[in-house]
Structure 1
Amino acid sequence: MSKLAFVFPGQGSQTVGMDTDLGETTLGKERFQQAETILGWSVLEVCHQEEEQLSRTLYTQPCLYVVESILIDLLLEEGRQFPQYVAGHSLGEYSALYAARVFGFEAGLRLVQQRAKLMETAAGGKMVALMKFDRTQLDEALAQDSDVVLANDNSPQQVVISGTPEAVDAVLAEVKTKRAIPLNVSGAFHSPLMAGVAQDFKQLLDEVNFGDAIVPVLSNVDPTPTTDATTLKSRLMEQMTGTVRWREILLKLASEGVSELKEIGPGNVLTGLCKRTCPEIALHNISRAVECTEPID
Structure 2
Amino acid sequence: MTKTAWVFPGQGSQKIGMGVDLAEEPIASAKYEAAEKILGWSVPEICNSEDDKVSNSLYTQPTLYVVESILADLMRDRDRQPNLVAGHSLGEYVALYVAGVFDFETGLKLVLRRAELMSTVAGGQMMALIGFNREQLEEQIEQTADVVLANDNSDAQVVISGTPEAVEAVASNIKTKRAVKLNVSGAFHSPFMAPAAAEFQTVLDGVTFADAGVPVLSNTDPTPTTNGERLKQRLSSQMTGSVRWREIMQQFSEQNIETVVEVGPGKVLSNLIKRACSGISLGQVGTLANLPE
Q: TM-score, normalised by structure 2?
A: 0.98
Range 250-259 or range 90-99, more displaced: 250-259
Q: CA deviation at 1:8?
A: 0.2
CA–CA distance in structure 2, aligned partners of residues 230 and 242 of structure 1: 18
Deviations 1:119-160 (A, max 9, x none): 111111000000111211101001112310000000110000
Query: RMSD between aligned alpha carbons?
Result: 1.0
Task: Tell whether the 8 Å contact from 1:102 to 1:211 is kept in structure 2 after alignment.
Answer: yes
> 1:9, 1:264 within 8 Å by CA — same for their partners in 2?
yes
The answer to whether the 8 A contact 2:20-2:47 is kept is no
Kept in 1, the 8 Å contact 2:99–2:216? The answer is yes
2:257 maps to 258
1:75 aligned onto 2:79: no
Residue 101 of structure 1 is matched in structure 2 by 100
Partner SS, residue 260 of structure 2: strand
**1:3 aligned residue:** 3
In the TM superposition, residue 77 of structure 1 has moved relative to its aligned partner by 1.1
Say if 2:167 is the partner of 1:168: yes
1:293 CA drift (Å): 4.1
Are the counterparts in 2 of residues 15 and 51 from structure 1 also a CA contact under 8 Å? no
- Per the TM alignment, residue 54 of structure 1 is displaced from its structure 2 partner at its CA by 1.2
* Mapped contact 1:4–1:261 kept (Cα < 8 A): yes
Partner of 1:221: 220
Q: Is residue 129 from structure 1 mapped to residue 128 from structure 2 by the alignment?
A: yes
Give the conservation status (yes or no) of the 8 Å contact 2:16–2:52.
no
Cα distance between partner residues in 2 of 1:122 and 1:51:
24
Correspondence 1:122-201 to 2 at 5 A: 122-201=121-200
- Aligned to 1:284, what secondary structure does the other structure show? strand
2-structure distance, mates of 1:231, 1:50: 41
State the partner residue of 1:22: 22
- Tell me the distance in 2 between the aligned counterparts of 1:218 and 1:44: 30
Letter in 2 for 1:62: P
Map of 1:34 onto structure 2? 34
Is the CA contact 1:122–1:187 (under 8 Å) kept in the aligned structure 2? Answer: yes
User: C-alpha separation between the residues in 1 aligned to 2:108 and 2:251?
Assistant: 28
Q: Which runs of no fewer than 5 residues in structure 1 stay unpaired? A: none
Could you tell me the percent identity over the aligned residues?
Answer: 57
Q: Is residue 2:245 matched to residue 1:276?
A: no
Shift of 1:288: 1.6
Q: Secondary structure at the match of 2:177?
A: strand
What secondary structure, in the 3-state scheme, does the structure 1 residue paired with 2:92 have? helix
Q: Any stretches of 5+ residues in structure 2 without a counterpart?
A: none
- 1:4-28 Cα deviation digits (max 9, x unpaired): 0000000000000011421010111
Contact kept, 8 Å, 1:221 with 1:235, in 2: the verdict is yes
Cα drift, residue 85 of structure 1: 0.4
1:206 and 1:38 map into 2 onto residues whose CA distance is 20
Task: Report how many residues are paired.
Answer: 293
Distance in 2 separating the partners of 1:52 and 1:189: 21
AA aligned to 2:231 is L
